[in-house]
A and B are shown apart, each in its own frame.
Chain A
């Protein structure tokens, strides 16, 4: 009951916060915008290169149809949505410090540990809800595109297909969680939204570059990226199934690249990401629970 109460309180605050609605609007708007852009540029004949493969514009257009709607939109959410999820998580944890409400809430709630756990659960829940809403919007857009371009007999919708869509949704959420946890922990430990956003986005953008440098750096360093976030995130995202007649548009290395680099299998990658989530959250929970709160913004 206590946890439910605290989670409801956290949800009440986040629901009333403009930032939550801005993040939701931007995520959904981004999907609509990208779908519209892709639709408008994919009408021409010809091809382009993606990760070394030749992709025809007609194939790109087919990605917007219902069969590919969910994994394609989730691929976009996993990249751009992660950035917004980082901002949401950092804002939820760091805002308490900048407003000075950390003390108010610490004395009004039944235990600091419960409060911070409830806050994280609600943030993670909102990220899941936003991702689902985005996939639903993408599906709706795909349905319109499909119906206005010859329609479909929906024969592709099988139990296996539905299961694959849910698995893709679960995988996408899972790869976002380490970044959400990192932003959350950094905001708590750094006592500010800025710390959370800075660390979260910094790692999101800089880590792949550092990984590339390490791979170039030689034997001592080349295996280190296999233990970092971006490589394992890519391994898991590559498990999301696309229709066989479509190429996979990715925002990272291909499966072949990852294999050559000696990346872990999906189970290993999931375990590594899980360890990161546990470590980041433990740091956040311990810091929040044990640290003195000597002023509104914490000591």
Chain B
């Protein structure tokens, strides 16, 4: 079991542009080896927060600490350990994919050419590595972005919509790559729109709205794991009425031929017994989890776009 170390922390981070507040008191903690997803509708302050984490945007108030370095004043010690692809990757159009990585490698120092070949191989660009970047498809650009991120063998990887423009196979590869990176001991900070995919790869999730964090926790915590039971009986009306009188059931709702109760899942058999004493016999009873999309909708009141990102 690896020791839990704090990799990234933001303390009361604010960013104002004139009268517009982009980020309002953001407090984040990200630990080593976890996949931390950062969700929010467009304009919620995600990119500004990432900009402050990378030292590209100066906070109006508060600070971002990455590997203990204050990113507004001394970002370089931390930047050496961070690989980041923010929004659409941008490279020099007249350089080949290989030359683009070479330019970054020179800037970073101590990155051998073999590592560049290795990264191009990893993202499936070995054959096209010599072609000018301007001839690449969006998917190839994204893959080169991921290669550049991994070039420096980073401890923290920041990915903003990393599968944007990738075909389904490419998307699957990246989705598989993310937990793989975390297993290697790297920390992944993921900004994404596709919630069911985030749910599949994330250890912890933060949801932001209008520059403020509205929820942060493990995926299970956010989904209310162990807090809901879904059931069905011959007479769902009677079932719902009966559930209303059970002391440990805090809420009841009817959804698509089921009755859903907010109740601890470890008390399912006890609930079944109580209902049976009232001559209500269940044909189905199972734990139920919310999905991230529902949580997101509840918390932000907004739907995410239909982008084909992770």
Residues of A with Cβ closer than 8 Å to B?
A: 1-2, 5-6, 8-9, 12-13, 16-18, 99-101, 103-111, 115, 290, 292-296, 299
Contacts and interface: CB of A to CB of B under 8 A. Distances in A.
Contacts of B86: 103, 296
A103 B51 CA distance: 9
Contacts of A12: 99, 102-103, 106
Contacts of A294: 47-48, 51, 56-57
A296 B87 contact: yes
A117 B94 CA distance: 23
Contact of B79 (A100, A107, A290, A296): A107
B290 interface: no
Chain A interface, DSSP helix/strand/loop, else mixed: helix
A108 B102 contact: no
B169 to A, nearest CB: 26
Interface in B49-101: 51, 54-58, 76, 79-80, 82, 84, 86-95, 99
B108 interface: yes
Contacts of B95: 13, 16
17 contacts: A2-B109, A13-B103, A16-B94, A16-B95, A16-B99, A99-B90, A100-B90, A104-B89, A104-B91, A107-B56, A108-B79, A108-B104, A292-B58, A293-B51, A294-B48, A294-B57, A295-B47
Interface of B: 47-48, 51, 54-58, 76, 79-80, 82, 84, 86-95, 99, 102-104, 106-109, 148
B89 to A, nearest CB: 8
A103 B56 contact: yes
Contacts of B57: 292-294, 299
A99 B102 contact: no
Contact of A293 (B56, B76, B102, B108): B56
Contacts of B106: 5, 8-9, 12
B99 A295 contact: no
Contacts of B55: 107
Given A292-B58, A293-B56, A296-B87, A107 B92 contact: no
Given A16-B99, A292-B56, A108 B107 contact: yes
Contacts of A295: 47, 87
Contacts of B80: 110
A17 B76 CA distance: 28
Nearest to B151: A108
Contact of A99 (B48, B93, B99, B109): B93
B103 to A, nearest CB: 6
Contacts of B148: 104
Contacts of B94: 16-18
Nearest to B79: A107
B70 to A, nearest CB: 14
